[in-house]
Structure 1
């Protein structure tokens, strides 16, 4: 369970994983640095292949204000694990690279951990294409179906079943306990965040939704985990990640039947087929390939993707 390590000097570490979204990253980092406080740190893990002159200048100007790490391979969960390993805070807060946080954002996340049973916190997401508020979910809806939740803009503080990487946090010790982010979620890592929250719940902890810890998600369409249109290889990885999540946590037949019906007949396919009707015959093939790859991965899931123990974190350690 949770240990209250006195070796870690900071209350929290904010981790941003980013890829080819430099302008938005600079805006998000600037917004966070405006709230800078000695009790927390900011870590940016970037797998952008080539940095622009503007980004290089921004990094040089702010070198002493946050920690910046470059990776050579594109894997969002791996970037998350780098952030977890580097973090010196007791609480690790993940935010997207295209967000504007509310005032006192970090303190609001940290304050939600007064109960030792809370292993993770999901903050409210404000987004231009979401309603301002939605009706609270049914308190009994804590089962596996909750993995479809995506808006996280309810009024009431309450335990929830799943998380979304745009605005979520966890106790660092708990992240080591559950093995960190699963790096077998490929490409943009679709479902890595859902999986991480679910694993924390399966370990016996509560995931608390905290509406006061809110941010504005700008939902920038370029870069990062988003792109316009439909790339068939990307679509195959989309299906692979979703099937992998289900195979990891549910019996294979249940996973295949449930996801095929729920997703193939739902929005992702429907909107893309309307745009490009010729895809109607290609998408089932991509779904099958993704399902087959996911099944192979689910047969051999590493126990952890993090170092064997929580590294000691002394004050001032970089």
Structure 2
């Protein structure tokens, strides 16, 4: 295990003080990362943040990589291609972690059969997530139950889902499966589900480790998520990535229930049903999203700068040596 090198990859978009706070914690790890890559998609930082980042670059503590067009999946792929570590740790830019966070991830790779590690998430928006001592019923039900395994499991176990805000993977595995699919767009919904599923389908063993936990602050400014507090009609790009995931990987018998649940939440919810004009608009956007999702899945296909780079290097993914 001691021979393995570690790269931490942090995509960031319009985050300021909270990004600096996250970087300070990364730099204080008792097992320091061999390199820290910040994939910066912010057009212009506040002066204090810019000075802090440039100071870290000048001291050789981080690598600051600019990316003009915001996309979390594209940023993570840039990190995969730029990194030199054997193990890649992905974290969000607004998290709190313990000093043994890197060590906890790395210790799992004593087992050479492990392809990736899902770290725990112990709070969201400052609200603690109570530890879960057993899998909920939904997580044990049907072929898509793995999507409902909570990130706050209190015990170490095999699982499939890797939360993009706290996970690690062998770099050779990330290259073999082609990195993250960039078709999920700016909001990046379900891109980590897709990445996890492809690792699983390739035969990779994924484990959940509660010791490698974070607290996700979900900073109110920045990031790529959509806030729905004052809007009940969904954007097309809220629905399309999730529908794309189902169209890409699962036939209708398996995906019908989650698609129905998605429609109930965003389209045919009580508020829209009681307001027919809003319902019609929401249904129209849902149909557009479905059409785009099917077109992307069946016609366009997966898009990934990692997969393209592997092909350009004249190396087939299956030729990359992994232990499984």
TM-score category of the 2 structures, normalised to the smaller one: 0.7 to 0.9
Could you say which residue in structure 2 is the equivalent of 1:62?
A: 56
**Which structure features the higher share of helix residues?**
2
- How many Å separate the matches in 2 of 1:53 and 1:172? 34
For residues 36 and 212 of structure 1, do their structure 2 counterparts lie closer, same or farther at Cα, with a shift above 3 Å needed? closer
Could you say which residue in structure 2 is the equivalent of 1:289?
A: 288
Could you say which residue in structure 1 is the equivalent of 2:132?
A: 134
Please, what TM-score do these two structures have when normalized by structure 2?
A: 0.83
Q: Does 1:246 align with 2:246?
A: yes
The DSSP-based 3-state class of the residue aligned with 1:73 is coil
Could you say which residue in structure 1 is the equivalent of 2:26?
A: 32
Alignment check: 8 A CA contact 2:71 2:188 kept: yes
Could you say which residue in structure 2 is the equivalent of 1:49?
A: 43
- How many Å separate the matches in 1 of 2:104 and 2:301? 34
Alignment check: 8 A CA contact 2:140 2:146 kept: no
The DSSP-based 3-state class of the residue aligned with 1:214 is strand
The DSSP-based 3-state class of the residue aligned with 1:113 is helix
Alignment check: 8 A CA contact 1:160 1:208 kept: yes
| Equivalent of 2:16 in 9, 17, 22 | 22
Deviation at 1:232, TM superposition (A): 8.6
Alignment check: 8 A CA contact 1:239 1:290 kept: yes
Once the two structures are superposed, the pairs formed by residues 32-181 of structure 1 within 5 Å of their partners are 32-35=26-29, 37=31, 39-63=33-57, 64-127=60-123, 128-137=126-135, 143-149=143-149, 151-181=150-180
Structure 1, unmatched stretches of 5+, are 311-318
Q: Deviations over 1:221-273 (max 9, x none)?
A: 3210224336799721121100111111112x347633331112237975985
Please, what TM-score do these two structures have when normalized by structure 1?
A: 0.85
Alignment check: 8 A CA contact 2:234 2:267 kept: no
User: Aligned-residue CA RMSD in angstroms?
Assistant: 3.0
Deviation at 1:305, TM superposition (A): 3.1
- How many Å separate the matches in 2 of 1:145 and 1:178? 22
Alignment check: 8 A CA contact 1:179 1:303 kept: no
Q: Deviations over 1:195-243 (max 9, x none)?
A: 1111101100111000011111112232102243367997211211001
Deviation at 1:157, TM superposition (A): 0.3
- How many Å separate the matches in 2 of 1:217 and 1:254? 35
Could you say which residue in structure 1 is the equivalent of 2:320?
A: none
The DSSP-based 3-state class of the residue aligned with 1:92 is strand
For residues 182 and 303 of structure 1, do their structure 2 counterparts lie closer, same or farther at Cα, with a shift above 3 Å needed? closer
- How many Å separate the matches in 2 of 1:271 and 1:132? 30
The DSSP-based 3-state class of the residue aligned with 2:162 is coil
Structure 2, unmatched stretches of 5+, are 316-324
Alignment check: 8 A CA contact 1:42 1:66 kept: yes
Aligned residues: 302
- How many Å separate the matches in 2 of 1:114 and 1:233? 48
Deviation at 1:136, TM superposition (A): 2.1
The DSSP-based 3-state class of the residue aligned with 1:72 is coil
Could you say which residue in structure 1 is the equivalent of 2:256?
A: 257
Deviation at 1:116, TM superposition (A): 2.0
Could you say which residue in structure 1 is the equivalent of 2:319?
A: none
The DSSP-based 3-state class of the residue aligned with 2:8 is strand
The DSSP-based 3-state class of the residue aligned with 1:88 is coil
